[in-house]
Amino acid sequence: MKRFLITIVFASICFISYSQDQNIDFKDGSFEEIMALAKQENKPIFMDCYTVWCGPCKQLAKNVFPQPEVSAFFNENFISIKMDMEKGEGIELAQYYNVNAYPTLLFLDSEGNVLKNHTGSLDAKNLIETGRDAIRLKK
The predicted structure's pLDDT at residue 21: 56
Give the sheet arrangement for strand 45-50, strand by strand.
79-84, 45-50, 104-108, 114-119
Parallel/antiparallel/unpaired status of strands 114-119 and 45-50: unpaired
Least confident window among 5-9, 71-75, 82-86, 127-131: 5-9
Provide the domain limits for residue 64.
23-138
Count structural domains, the chain: 1
Does residue 6 lie in a domain region? no
Amino acid present at 77: N
Which 3 state secondary structure label does DSSP give 111?
coil
Residue 3 placed within a domain: no
Q: Provide the mean pLDDT of the chain.
A: 89
Give the predicted TM-score (pTM) of the model: 0.84
Indicate the burial class of 78 (C-beta count within 10 angstroms; 0-12, 13-18, 19 or more).
buried
pLDDT in tens, 86-125: 999 999 999 999 999 999 999 999 999 999 999 999 999 9
